Amino acid sequence: MVKKGPKQVPESVRKLQARIEQAKQAKAKASQDLEAQKSALAAEAQAKAEKYLAEYIHKETTSNQNRAQAKKNDQFWVEEEPKVILVVRIKGINKIAPKPRKVLKLFRLLQLHNAVLVRNNKATRNMLRLIEPFVTFGYPSVQTISKLVYKRGFIKVNNQRIPLNDNVQISAVLGSKGIHCVEDLIHQLVTCGTCFKECNNLLWTFKLSSPIHGFNHKRTSFIQGGDWGDREKKINTLVNRMI
């Protein structure tokens, strides 16, 4: 009886198996590289978070000391004007004239309870004056901006709204500008840095919820006991109820 030799694998099958194995190795290497990049960015983010926190605390301490010294000398301490304004839309689309509607669109305030960060300058102030009955705005604190980014932060990738899950997403888009982690992004927004525009454009408009306990009176300005208009630092109280 003649024994049959081992069955030969066709050349096409061997090539297919080799390609599959090569793809598996490439996928495993890419996964390892991604994990290594995430670990490096996490360590960098931790170090930068401590650095920026020390910077914020130093600035607040210096401001308090200057205020106390001025009070002691029967003088006034005038703080520097905030560089960033947080704008929240509190009214819908009914009965809006074309010009305010256009400004709301420029600010990306397309829906009720949308919120955006804008530079505090003369042009922005003039536009806010046009849409004042439809929005409320003020000066956000570091804590408020941080909460907005961490809890309601979405980024724009190929015109899609993608959750902000890790630092790799930020580094891929803004790494060339020295922004590699969420803390870098927040610092640019807080200080209105040189890359404020790029960071702000990367973020999708913040979508907030209705405030806990609701609004007071949307048809009346804030200084008259209502809701719309300039709240200055009291915007932080309202936004914390909406996050």
Choose among 179, 149, 178: nearest CA to 165. Answer: 149
Residue in 135, 147, 75, 71 with CA at minimum distance from that of residue 105 = 135
**Residue ranges covered by each domain of the chain:** 84-242
Please say if the pLDDT value at position 140 is more than 90. yes
User: What is this structure's pTM?
Assistant: 0.80
**Token pair listed for 114:** 């949308």
pLDDT of 198-214, one tens digit each? 999 999 999 999 888 88
User: Can you give the pLDDT at residue 10?
Assistant: 77
The pairing of strands 229-232 and 135-138 is: parallel
Q: Pick the closest to residue 139 from 151, 152, 124 (CA basis).
A: 124
- Please write the tens of the pLDDT for every residue from 57-82: 988 888 888 888 888 888 887 888 88
Q: In CATH, which superfamily holds the domain spanning 84-242?
A: Ribosomal protein L30/L7 (3.30.1390.20)
In Å, how far from its chain's centre is CA 242?
16
- So what's the pLDDT on residue 33? 67
